A and B are shown apart, each in its own frame.
Chain A
Amino acid sequence: MPRPEISKAAIKAEAARLKAFFEESGAQPVEMDILLPAEVLLDLYGEDIRARAYVTHDPERGEMMLRPDFTVPVVQQHMTDGAEPARYTYAGEVFRKQEDMPSRANEYFQVGYEVFDGSDPAAADADVFARFAEVLADAGLHAATGDIGILKAAVAGLKTTERRRAALLRHIWRPRRFRALMTRFSDAGTVLRQQNLDRVRANLKDAEAPFIGLRTQTEIDSRIRALEEDASEPPISGSEIELLDDILSLKETLPHVISQLRDIAVDLPAISGAVSLLSRRSDALAARGVDVEHLDFEASYGRTSMEYYDGFVFGFYAEGRPDLPPVATGGRYDALTAVLGQGRSIPAVGGVIRPNVLLSLKGGA
């Protein structure tokens, strides 16, 4: 479908306008390199990023990557020489291969706003969302919100083994595998868990194979012990599985969701903290003039977008335009700062706007 071409100059001007808005709100403008060392990004995002980012080679510095997003370099710069609290804004190109959707741009602008402030997470979340809502107000967009912290808290509170909780937490961002694990750990998976153990025991009786590779016998033994434990432990109770399902399928306006989550918290008290954070965030949003009564909330929202969003998540979409990527997306990524900071974590929340998508809507396309 041919789209009216928007000039790069127009996109740059729009990006500058958006960035100026965030600067007026008190954010400090920052500039980031376009060529980034690939190692950190590859270790963080794994093969997914290799499929999406352009990797090139420098004879001195090794593998380099054309900036696939600003989040990582902004966090790194803040951790090296930023003082808390801090708010940053930036605008510039990012580069993404579009293997699955070749019609989408592989080089486009992003304007971002990031807040590093641990004093009041609910207020920081609301600050970011409200400013995005304000600067995008004329575009008639639909806002979607979620909170991965609720699901994380629910999993962390399951009455089962630490190993099962850890396995589920690890796959929160891969819904299909998460679902498979839920089944395996439930009553329905009892036979499967025993079969897994029997299969491995049968392998042990097999003729000895010579030991090759870096993975040690100790690692193999500890996995076998894990399978033994998994087969002998009672399943996660049907009522807890039901509660998880209830949370996963929550999709309502924010006030309704909060009241339903309070009901669920009676049976699953582990989510109480996350629910009260959600409620404080709702108040903070309302105080900033966001119409929370009509704000959509989906508990599964954001699970497939970025692995390191681990709390509040949001997106702004052009309704009736499924051909377009979201105009803006963002969320809380404390988990990412924890990985980058090697133990030292900084509460962080932020988001990006795609000025080219915004302009293509304004053009009435």
Chain B
Amino acid sequence: MVVKLGVPSKGRLMEKTFEWFSERGVMLSRAGAEREYSGAVEGIEGVELVLLSASEIPRELAAGRIHLGVTGSDLVRDKLAAWDSKVAELAVMGFGHADLIIAVPKCWTDVDTLDDLDAAASAFRARHGFRLRIATKYHHLVREFLKINGVADYQLVDSQGATEGTVKNLTAEAIADITSTGDTLRANHLKVLSCEPIHRSQATLFKSRMAHWTDETRATLTELTEKMGLGD
């Protein structure tokens, strides 16, 4: 049995992940042609690299089809119900930082806080006959956050991309999205609410609690964590 390690299949997240592992003595690389989604592992025996879309890695970890996986902590928390019963954080990796925030039009001079948002939502619903719409793809995290903070009279509308544009396009009144620099928000005339972010995300190495762990794969994991200096 080999330990299957799921890593994002492209872009900066993949490159940074490869770098992070190589700094710790484990070389990951894509095998064969540029477009082929298989990889090679050097520096340790018994680990197989599986290249996957970052957004599928939470699901694969929860299903136990991979033993280890690198993805954003936001995705794991949003996609997996009771996430910490299914996966464990082995290491936060120090890159891929992004905050999940709520943003509203900058022209809303009366709204800076969650209190303000709640009051605005109440009046909005009374006037327009429907709940104030918040566009997001992080349904679970946003809903839980607004519930804990007692915000009412809103609804979530799904937006899988270009979320910052939904307000101008009149398909939402506010958004909840990941931001690192805030440039896209400013360019779209949005401002971030002054509360703590819903979640501070970064790339994280997760261990699946659902995968089938044998004595052999357990031993490989111990070797890997010792070699790389990770606390299990």
Contact = CB atoms under 8 A, between A and B. Distances in A.
B82 interface: yes
A47 B155 contact: yes
A219 B127 contact: yes
Contact of B118 (A100, A102, A177): A177
Interface stretch (B8-16, B33-41, B166-174, B219-227): B166-174
A23 B222 CA distance: 64
A212 B106 CA distance: 9
Interface in A138-184: 167, 170-171, 174, 176-178, 180, 184
A99 B141 CA distance: 12
Contact of B120 (A167, A212, A215): A215
Nearest to B110: A223
A209 B105 contact: yes
A29 B199 CA distance: 49
Contact of B119 (A102, A212, A215, A223): A223
B81 A213 contact: no
Interface stretch (B23-31, B52-60, B87-95, B142-150): B142-150
B181 interface: no
A99 B82 contact: yes
B24 to A, nearest CB: 35
A99 B154 CA distance: 21
B109 A200 contact: yes
A198 to B, nearest CB: 11
Contacts, number: 106
A227 to B, nearest CB: 7
A48 B119 contact: no
Contact of B152 (A46, A204, A210): A46
A247 to B, nearest CB: 20
A214 B173 contact: yes
A51 interface: yes
B63 interface: no
B101 to A, nearest CB: 17
B108 to A, nearest CB: 6
Interface string B134-170: 0000011001001111111111100000000001101
A32 B214 CA distance: 50
Interface string B107-127: 111111001101110111001
Contact of A171 (B146, B147, B152, B156): B152
Interface of A: 42-43, 46-48, 50-51, 97, 99-100, 102, 167, 170-171, 174, 176-178, 180, 184, 196, 199-200, 203-204, 206, 209-215, 219-220, 222-224, 226-227
Chain A to chain B: the 4 pairs with minimum beta-carbon distance, closest first: A177-B150, A209-B106, A203-B109, A174-B150
30 contacts: A42-B155, A43-B130, A46-B155, A47-B146, A51-B140, A99-B82, A102-B82, A170-B152, A174-B150, A177-B149, A177-B150, A178-B150, A196-B116, A199-B112, A200-B112, A203-B110, A203-B112, A206-B109, A211-B107, A213-B107, A214-B128, A214-B173, A219-B120, A219-B123, A219-B127, A220-B108, A220-B109, A223-B111, A223-B120, A226-B119
